[in-house]
Each structure stands twice: as structure tokens, then as C-alpha cells.
């Protein structure tokens, strides 16, 4: 039986520029798929958040550009906490995954590895 699992991930950008946002978002989505042996058909949905200092474009636009146009995607702004890591795109991907929750591989890239040292690859 297939189970829907949530997969977390995050990446940090060097600057708030559309091309850079797309590059890092696409890298993050690809790494999440690869780490969990998923295809885009396995995805149920993805929720993206950005820290309030990222305004150049939507991470969902990057995901659509890489071929996820038929996957439900949503973007939101992360809570503006004073000491939060800047320029971060986070995702929570929901996927059909035949493995226990403790074997789901979460992906934290670039400066975002400090967010979850316990989960970072």
C-alpha cells in the first residue's frame, strides 16, 4: 500500500535575483526527488515558503518551469523572526512513498544546513 509522506527541504540564496532563485529552487526539488528515489508522478503537492527578504519571484514558478505544471504548488511567506536565517526557500513536498517515515530523506542545501543539522544530508 502506498502512503503519502511529507518531505522537508530548504536552501539559502546568496542574493534575491530571479535567476538565482530559480536555480536554487530547481536544485532543491531535484535533490529531494533524487534523495527519495521519486519521479514527478510520485508528487502529490509542494508547499514552498520564502523568508520575507525574497521578493524576486515565486519558487512555484521555478518548479513549473522544471516540468511540475501538473503538481499542485503553493507559495507562502515564512514568519518574519528577527534572528531567522535570511534568504531561505523552504519546501514541504507530499509524495506517494513506500518507506517508513524514519527513512524519508530530507534535504537542506547551502547555508540552510544549519536549520536542521539533524536532518541535513
Which residues carry out catalysis? 8, 64, 75, 78, 90, 108, 116
| Per-residue burial over 96-114, b = 16 or more CB atoms within 10 Å of its CB, e = otherwise | ebeeeeeebbbbbbbbbbe
Backbone angles phi, psi at 18, to 5 degrees: -50, -50
Amino acid at each position: 500500500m502506498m502512503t503519502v509522506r511529507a518531505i522537508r527541504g530548504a536552501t539559502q540564496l546568496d542574493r534575491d535575483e530571479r535567476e538565482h532563485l530559480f536555480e536554487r529552487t530547481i536544485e532543491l526539488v531535484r535533490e529531494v526527488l533524487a534523495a527519495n528515489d521519486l519521479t514527478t508522478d510520485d508528487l502529490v503537492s509542494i508547499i514552498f515558503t520564502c523568508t520575507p527578504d525574497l521578493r524576486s519571484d515565486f519558487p512555484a514558478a521555478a518548479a513549473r518551469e522544471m516540468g511540475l505544471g501538473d503538481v499542485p504548488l503553493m507559495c507562502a511567506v515564512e514568519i518574519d523572526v528577527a534572528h531567522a536565517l535570511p534568504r531561505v526557500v523552504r519546501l514541504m513536498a507530499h509524495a506517494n512513498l513506500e518507506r517508513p517515515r524514519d527513512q524519508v530523506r530530507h534535504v537542506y542545501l547551502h547555508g540552510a544546513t544549519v536549520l536542521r543539522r539533524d536532518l541535513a544530508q
